[in-house]
Structure formats: C-alpha cells, structure tokens
Amino acid sequence: MMYRKLTKAIIPVAGLGTRFLPATKAIPKEMLTVVDKPLIQYIVHEAAEAGITDIILVTHSSKNAIENHFDTHYELESKLLEAAKHERLECLSEITPPGVNLISVRQPEALGLGHAILCAAHIVAPDEPFAVLLPDVLMHHPKKGCLAQMAAFYQQVHTSVVALEQVPSEQVYKYGIAGVSDVDLRIQQLVEKPKPEEAPSNLSVVGRYIFTPRVMELLKLTRPGVAGEIQLTDAMAALLKEEVMFGFEFKGGKSYDCGDKQGFLQANVEYALRDPVLGGFFRKYLSELDMNAVQSK
C-alpha cells in the first residue's frame, strides 16, 4: 500500500489568550517572546525540522501580527543593510525556514480545537496525513525536536501518533491522559483531566499529533459538545474504534506549557540559560541574585 508523505501541519492560533491579559489585548499570545523569538516561530521551526513544507495557520482577524512576522519587511531590511547591521539582518532571514509555505485560514468563531482543524480541511487532501502542533506548548530537545522524532516513528507505523509525557500522578487532573498498553504504547483510551485515583496512567497528551486522513472525516461527523464546541478528543475516541493509535513518549527533552504564566516564565529562564550568548551572563546573574531583595512587599 502506498502512503502519502507527511508534508502538512496545522497550527491553531485563533485563541484570544485571555490568561495573559493585559499583554494580549493588542498582541497575539503566540507573539509573546521566549528570550528573543515569539512562541510561534519556535513552533514553525519545529514543524520544518520534521519535514513539513506546508504550514496552515488557523487564525483570527485580530492575529495579523503573526502573518506579518513571517512576511518580508522591505523597509526594515533595507535600513539594516544600509547600516551594515548584517547580524540583525540575518536573524530576520531565519524567521521563515527555507522551503516552508505558510498558509493562513480564518476560524470565524471559537468553536473548539476540532473546529479549528476543520477550518483547514479544504487544504489537506482526503488521503493525506497531517500534523497538529499546539502553539502554547514549547518542546525543547538538544538534538532532535519532538515532531521530527514522531515523524520518523510515523514512517514506521503509518497510523496516528500522539506525543505523551509523564507527569506527577497527583497532577494528572490538569491534563488529558492516555491509557496505553504496556508493550508498545498503543493508546487504549483518552481521559480528559481525570481524578488521580481514576487516571489510566500518568502519561499526558502534550500538544503534538500526527493523524491519518480518517480523523478529518470523523471531525466532520463529530457533534458539538459543551458550549457548542467540536472537540478533537471526541474524534480521536471515535478513531480508536477504527484504527490503531500509538503514543509517543517524549524523552530526553522538556515541554513547557506557555499558555500558563508560570510555564511561560520557566521557558524564558531555561531558554535564556541555554542561549550561547546570554547563557553565561544570565547564569551568573541568577547565582548572585538576592532573592530577599526582590520579594514582593
């Protein structure tokens, strides 16, 4: 059987980011920076590393800044060139990975993650697999990004793959949790925010997916649930009845929930410490920081 190559990814960026107000009143949450790059740039580069050539941004009318970030800014580039600021010019040229085509579609109403994915259905061919990356989650790995690892695994199994990461058992109530087989991480069930005593495991779903084409068809059949939203997890539950779905445990790296203020701050600190230019200075600064002097009154 011939399988289509994985070349498309959907990134839902239509959310309003209310947890970060007032910062996100005029700035999309995906444009908040971790050190010197906006969140969305890290996500796009992770997709490109996995061999994705067509990235579909499911966006909102208030999110023009995201599209502008990946567009050419001729006036700025000419000013930098005239001033011989070549290093800064180079960082602009690296914003969009080579060979990547960015496509924007609108989600007119916030009707759930499943609905956001459906907004891109006309761009994904009926027989084509696709990835989904949630932009709130940064996935750092020192060698090979999470989606690139998953894509390599997908080429072996040619069925849906969901990224999983262990969380403390007492915190499973915060996450979608996967029940898996002990041998090969085949997903048996998906439970949204279970009580610790009812959780099938401590493996949380962390915002990276590779889906077979069947998921898009099941999303079209999924009825709206709470608040009229179409939930991706409902379509995934239906898929489990038809196809094998594997979990992929993300190891050797670290995820950061940047939809949460604490996770966002942790990402900034740790990415700054890894930065080849800033890292040494920042580490020294933290080691010498007088915590008592900066405590809130």
Write down the pLDDT at residue 226. 74
Residue 85: pLDDT band with limits 50, 70, 90: confident
Distant-in-sequence, close-in-space partners of 21: CB < 8 Å, separation ≥ 6: none
**How many CB atoms within 10 Å of residue 285?**
11
Superfamily of domain 8-294: Spore Coat Polysaccharide Biosynthesis Protein SpsA; Chain A (3.90.550.10)
Query: Cis peptide leading into 135, omega within 30 of 0?
Result: no
> Looking at residues 32-38, what average pLDDT do you find?
95
| C-beta of residue 145 within 8 angstroms of C-beta of residue 215 | no
Write down the pLDDT at residue 296. 61
* Gap between the Cα atoms of 289 and 244, Å rounded: 51
pLDDT at residue 16 above 70?
Answer: yes
| C-beta of residue 281 within 8 angstroms of C-beta of residue 232 | no
Domain limits of the chain?
A: 8-294
| C-beta of residue 55 within 8 angstroms of C-beta of residue 93 | no
pTM of structure: 0.92
pLDDT tens across 171-194, in order? 888 888 999 987 889 999 888 888
| C-beta of residue 28 within 8 angstroms of C-beta of residue 74 | no
With pLDDT > 70 as the criterion, what percentage of the chain qualifies?
98
Write down the pLDDT at residue 1. 58
